[in-house]
Amino acid sequence: MSRELAKTYDPKGIEDRIYDKWLAKKYFHAEVDHSKTPFTIVIPPPNITGQLHMGHALDNTMQDILIRYKRMQGYNALWQPGTDHASIATEVKIIEKLKEEGISKEDLGREGFLKRAWEWKAEYGGRIIEQLKKLGSSCDWDRERFTMDEGCNKAVTEVFCKMHEKGWIYKGSRIINWCPVCNTSISDAEVEYEEQAGHFWHIKYPLIEDDGTVSTTRFLEFATTRPETMLGDTAVAVHPDDDRYKDIVGKKLMLPIINREIPIIADAYVDREFGTGVVKITPAHDPNDFEVGKRHNLPEINILNDDATINENGGKFCGMDRYAAREAIVKELDEMGLLVRIEDYTHNVGTHDRCKTTIEPMIKKQWFVRMDELIKPAVKAVKDGDIQLIPKRMEKTYFNWTDNIRDWCISRQLWWGHRIPAYYCDDCGETVVAKQMPEKCPKCGGTHFTQDPDTLDTWFSSALWPFSTLGWPEQTEDLKYFYPTDVLVTGYDIIFFWVIRMIFSGYEQMGERPFKTVLFHGLVRDSKGRKMSKSLGNGIDPLEIIDQYGADALRLTLITGNAPGNDMRFYYERVEASRNFANKIWNASRFIMMNMPEEGLQVTDPVLQPVDKWILSKLNALIKDATENMDHFELGIAVQKVYDFIWDEFCDWYIEMVKPRLYNTDDQESKNAALWTLKTVLLNALKLLHPYMPFITEEIFCTLQSEEESIMISSWPVYQDDWSFAKEEQDIETIKDAVRGVRNIRTEMNVAPSRKAMIYVVSEKEEVRRAFTEGKLFFTSLAGASEVVIQEDKNGIAEDAVSVVIHGATLYIPFAELVDIAQEIERLKKEEKRLTGELARVNGMLSNEKFMGKAPQAKIDEEKAKLEKYTQMMEQVKERLAQLSK
């Protein structure tokens, strides 16, 4: 029995039902199977604080497209899901909630706070997973992991202890990003740079003369955006090759207000072309100054408390807020005559992405990962092509970071996260790094220890994600089979913070790459090209789009026109276009099913007509092209080709071409061949579309046929030599040109669509006449003809007939009573002018020695074919003009 689709396509009515079916059937689940080749993707774990946003939607749509494609190709495809504990983000959320209750985390104590944090995770942690399911994500949810689950926690402890033992992890004082509100160090990833209006304060420090007096006439002038940090200045630097200052390098300046003598040093870090070529050096509050300070053995003077107030090193400004101190210092410098001028200046200021507070670079004693050796395999892997970055231009960003690598600060002054496995002996202070609290101090024999209160940077655990999720440090079967993974899909904005760290962690812990390919995507911006943000109020909720238009429409919108690494703009008009495409497929599928026999189509060896071979050949070429595009991660190009084929070739042309055969009850053989072709092409086109639009393709596929239970586990179409019909393709394309030409003429002349007219097809070429004879039935219908006469010459055709010139033939329509002859002459003259231009262009290229010498032979042959085509068309146009002018 044939089945039917609902009259209208309603995503709400099918998406949840279909997804539940997939889950129940365990289509997403992967087990070790050595008879199959594995294909693995690990999800960039969303934060448990997260709400699905457009970046997530794009990222996960791309992963789902790849995993569905590979699953259909027969790979044992695993998409490993999970979530990230997101130390700071989660702690901020919980603290906000506690504030509403009138309590602080200190009131609860560490254990009480962690209990609340786990309760919060249980309540909100799975929200984004449910939202990813609404998108259609085919992750193996049976394998869902969490960065703080028992297995991942074990992996983190193992890595920390192992790397500490090797000397890769150490505790020391270095410059870090400090958030004065959250009172923790934060990673570079959590620093958000925003353009702010500020100032350049031009200040001068007096030189100390050889006799030890402070000069009243000689000064060094520089500019700074943070005058308050002068309290911690320990030098002023100039470039070694700057002739202006060569004679004073090694001398000293007097630091105003603080009255501390500081040296003038020479360092290549200084840009002598910028400003006065003089830079104040504050090693404790600037990462570049810190490095300069190390090179010149400068003191490091921290002038800030953790809350960004001035500490005792700031003298009389002690206790003041950093900005209040800035104001007071500038005022005093002005009174002293040392403030030269104030210049307005717009610059990028680092803020904490969570609380929006301006961060302070500060020297702090923290735990660090030594990067100089660890980074080397990660550099080599990309240079040698062991790991491929797509697009390739991302390599420049990658190497820019690896070439300027700094040791990684991994400790955070937080309670939520992986606690650092370092224990301090209460008796002698000895530090012991171990997987669990030691029983006895190796130095003094003491038995009382206190664990380090800090937790690890979230990125430390997510750097292990490709292998910790598969069971490492245990040598599980999953790990042996599914690792290394194949593709990582992520935004270009976390190339340093996550991608590179996974790469060096993979080589360090596993001895091999964590993935073969990194596919970068850009940001989803609003229709004006702005980044979506809460402050701008321009964010778009993907769940609202899904509710209104369906997940398939959103997915198609996000991927159409998308190129690796490029940002894209989000337009509601594009979502509507995607929904319209879904409706087009739905209605075409309904039409096909309505014409299927009740008992089902029983055709095993159809007698195909040229038009059937044409659409099969077009489909065959599409299969080859789309597969190649998918293999090269050109997802946007592949889906555009599938879209164009379904909408244009299949729906607008082929279905219309075969309608007369479907309605012809006298030729069952022809009708059956048309139905077989319609079904075959539709099923294959649905398969090509499935990774992009999984829900609608599943519903149509399962309704149209009963042989397979799901499109998800059907086979990806493959190119077939016996579906390649070059001659039929050429013939049908010629007839399509004729139909378009006739339709254009009728439109220009305002001929009513209901009006039928006789069409003469005249061609000297036997193969052209044969093509029109074979396609006469559908050509008659599509061209709005009352009758079609095919002949070798113009005998019997009225002189006033309107003509349509195509390659290889001329069509004549005796519309004398409807046609303005003068208008037809004008139209032909326009065509003559167009062809004159085309011929001039082609002849110009073919007579250009440079072009003929350098162009590929295929391009030269293409231009020669155009010359022949345009020459023939011009002859026909001129001949017709001569007739009408008589």
- Contact status, residue 245 vs residue 207, Cβ threshold 8 Å: no
- Supply the DSSP string of 156-202, one letter for each residue: HHHHHHHHHHHTSEEEEEEEEEEETTTTEEE-GGGEEEEEEEEEEEE
Residue 350's nearest CA partner among 359, 339, 341 is 359
Q: List the helix and strand counts (H, then E) for the chain.
A: 28, 29
- Contact status, residue 555 vs residue 582, Cβ threshold 8 Å: no
Residue with tokens 């983000």: 89
Considering only the C-alpha atoms of the chain, give the largest distance between any 2 of them, rounded to a whole number of Å: 119
Strand 449-451 versus strand 422-425 pairing type = antiparallel
- Contact status, residue 802 vs residue 745, Cβ threshold 8 Å: yes
Strand 169-179 versus strand 455-456 pairing type = unpaired
Q: Which uninterrupted H or E stretch holds 353?
A: none
What is the SS3 assignment for 304? strand
DSSP annotation of 204 reads E
- Supply the DSSP string of 497-558, one letter for each residue: IIIIHHHHHIIIIISS-SEEEEEEE--EE-TTSPBP-TTTT----HHHHHHHH-HHHHHHHH
CA distance 473 to 47: 24
Q: How far is CA 781 from CA 12, 648, 661, in A?
A: 38, 18, 11
CA distance 451 to 411: 13
Per-residue b or e along 386-401, where b marks 16 or more CB atoms closer than 10 Å to that residue's CB = ebbbbeeebeeebeeb
734 is written with which tokens?
């010629």
How many CB atoms neighbour CB 239 within 10 A?
21
Per-residue b or e along 107-125, where b marks 16 or more CB atoms closer than 10 Å to that residue's CB = ebeeeebbebbeebbeeeb
Tell me how far the alpha carbon of residue 582 is from its chain's centroid.
24
Q: Specify which residues 402 forms β-bridges with.
A: none
Is 820 exposed, middle or buried (CB count within 10 Å of its CB: 0-12, 13-18, 19+)? exposed
446 is written with which tokens?
């003491």
- Asked if the bond preceding 391 is cis, omega within 30° of 0, the reply is yes
Instruction: Check whether 534 is labelled as a binding-site residue.
Output: yes
CA distance 572 to 262: 61
Instruction: For Cα atoms 756, 762, 768, give the angle at the middle one, nearest 5 degrees.
Output: 105
- Known binding positions for ATP: 534
- Known binding positions: 534
